[in-house]
Structure 1
């Protein structure tokens, strides 16, 4: 038995190993048996922590998406920055995070795309959290008088939808176009102009 198997089998250790297995085999070929083999344990040991391959894949995707949510939350809750500037920073950070995930971690990005196709609750929760952060930023702007929106949640949803080309995985092939940055900046400028009080 390997020294890795001597370590306690924790959900976090399983998720880290699952990410490695997904990177190696991709989302369609990676199995729980592959994860167990990499951990030096039986697949039953993995199933004690995650009841199915789908549960394991959702947990690894949730862990992966949470990194972006935490980073974006730092921007959304930062004190002192004017809402228009905070909104611009948040949209830029979201676009960069998605673009980096697609470019730097294509296998896990493929898993995320598979889950989107399955209409996963993990993805729905992720999108809800992102729109909630946008709602708070726009709400701050309305409260301070720097932004105007008669219905803040509707405005947040509209901003999210209007910028979808820069964070929705269906547009991933466009994210590496030589003109994408100027196109992103034009859309964000238009959105912020439209929300200014």
Structure 2
């Protein structure tokens, strides 16, 4: 008796799309390529994702959400707010470094997709700054941080550290001294938030 193929789910389609993007790049990857990789017709893929743009947006969101999900575990942890903030910013930098360094072809592909999907990127940044806001608010409540507006402070911290997470700086992330530069910015940021 032949084995039954696993059902076609949006997650399987996104996994196949990521593989196709890795192999062909954003400019050449098509829905037909994704369907071929799954052994289905392109019409079947379109039943889950109505357009190529919707599919590309979903795969971009999935890629960005991996970072958000990892960082959210830091936000909900039991460490003191200063440790959380330090770990969160270091985690963001580490995640971006790995994405750029471990799979540069896929990183380049996603850089193209991110430019195409500004609404997905805006939602990702809103999620990240919301996580930062939670940490800073917790620090204010604990008396460790001072901030009249934790959301505004979170956005300032995010912007101040952009060299270490914005993909436009990816070529800097492997340069000598980048870790020291990150630590200096992180220390300065924490000093600015402390109450003492």
Root mean square deviation, CA, Å = 1.6
Q: Which residue of 2 aligns with 1:78?
A: 77
State the Cα distance separating 1:92 from its structure 2 match: 0.1
What SS does the corresponding residue of 1:146 show, helix, strand or coil?
coil
In 2 relative to 1, CA 186–5 (structure 1 residues): closer, same or farther, beyond 3 Å?
A: farther
Q: Return the alpha-carbon distance in structure 2 between the equivalents of residues 93 and 130 of structure 1.
A: 12
Question: Hey, what's the Cα distance between the residues in 1 that align with 2:6 and 2:117?
Answer: 35
Q: Which moved more, 1:116-125 or 1:159-168?
A: 116-125
Matched, 1:106 2:118: no
Residue equivalent to 2:118: 120
Gaps of 5+ in 1: none
- Note if contact 1:115-1:123 (Cα within 8 Å) is conserved in structure 2: no
- 2:58 aligns with 59
For residue 4 of structure 1, report the CA deviation from its aligned partner.
9.9
1:170 to 157, 168, 171: 168
> Quick check: 1:5–1:40 contact (8 Å CA) kept in 2?
no
The alpha-carbon deviation at position 51 of structure 1 amounts to: 1.1
Instruction: Report the Cα offset of residue 118 of structure 1.
Output: 2.8
Query: How far did 1:146 drift?
Result: 0.5
Whole-Å separation in 2 of the counterparts to 1:96 and 1:55? 29
What residue number does 2:34 align with?
35
In 2, Cα distance between equivalents of 1:95 and 1:102? 11
Structure-1 separation of matches of 2:157 and 2:32: 43
Aligned residues: 194
Q: What is the alpha-carbon distance in structure 1 between the residues aligned to residue 105 and residue 164 of structure 2? A: 19
SS at match of 1:45: helix
**Separation in structure 2 between the aligned mates of residue 119 and residue 16 of structure 1, nearest angstrom:** 18
Residues 149 and 195 of structure 1 are in contact (CA less than 8 Å); yes or no, is this contact kept in structure 2? yes
* Paired residues of 1:76 and 1:136 also in contact (CA < 8 A): yes
TM-score by length of 1: 0.93
Q: Are 1:180 and 2:145 counterparts? A: no
Partner of 1:22: 21
Contact 1:83-1:141 at 8 Å conserved across structures: yes
Mapped partners of 1:13, 1:38: distance in 2: 10
Deviations 1:123-175 (A, max 9, x none): 11111000000000000000111111111111000000000000000000000
* 1:87-127 CA-partner distances (Å, limit 9, x unpaired): 01100000000110111132332233223323521111111
